[in-house]
Amino acid sequence: MGRQYYQRINCAEKGKIVKYFMTCQGQAYHQIKGRKIYLLLDYDGTLVPIASKPDLAVLPPKTRAILRKLAHYPRCVLAIISGRSLENIKKMVKIPKIIYAGNHGLEVDYQGIYQKIIPPDDFPAVLKKLYVSLRQKMKDIKGILIEHKGMTLSVHYRLAAGKQRLKARHIFFAVIKPYQARQQVTVTTGKMVLEIRPPLKWGKGDFVKWLIKKGAPHRRKPVVFYFGDDRTDEEAFKALKRRGYAILIGRHKRSAADYYLKNPAEVSKVLERIEHSLEA
């Protein structure tokens, strides 16, 4: 992926990065004038607050209305990039003619064209075995939700009690250990979730690079925004390092993002300002 797809952006004076995005947003909106922009957004924890159960993380009507407006601008590429399955994230957002990436970019609806990263032949069977085994071994732990998402599998333990969370993690890693040893799976962790993926070198960062490279050329280099809140978004932050607006939702001691916003409500405000800038 060549660097020509990104514009180097620094909204701070004298080369010093200003971490809180709200302190330098004016320059970001000025950058948008006459340029193609990419708005790339995670869902849970970014567009909506983290919920106790995935189905409860409902997109606020105001945020959906802003996204609908943004989707109508020809020079705005809007993509929702989620760890949810493609079918589920489309169901939650319900906005036609935008780009959806499910399972961290493993499956994509590119404005009506379905694309998928093909896993190894044995992976579906491996994932099914793990799903059955984990359900059986964790059946007595209250508050555990095991979600088979077609191409990945997630174990949510947010609702479990403290000691039960540790027990669930212990069972999880014991079950997957032989599969990891044979390099049949990849494991990632997030906010109160453990996830099993195919053994492929492909994540949100790879998807972001692919998406921008795939885009039609524009007379000026695009301005890229990526909003995310979890460890899986760090891959995308690294892909955009100082060549776009990599914005972390919430604050963490360690992140590849250059800027942060406090919560999904601030994300909605920023999207609204971007829409106003495009309209102007």
Between CA 272 and CA 70 the distance in angstroms is 9
Contact 102, 86 (CB under 8 A): yes
Q: Tokens representing 120?
A: 């190894």
Between CA 144 and CA 183 the distance in angstroms is 26
- What are the DSSP calls for 128-192, one per residue? HHHHHHHHHHTTTSTT-EEEE-SS-EEEE-TTS-HHHHHHHHHHHHHHHHHHHHTT--EEEEETT
Cβ neighbours of residue 115 under 8 Å, at least 6 residues apart? Answer: 107, 108
> Distance between the two ends of the chain, CA-based, in angstroms?
32
Catalytically active residues, by annotation: 42
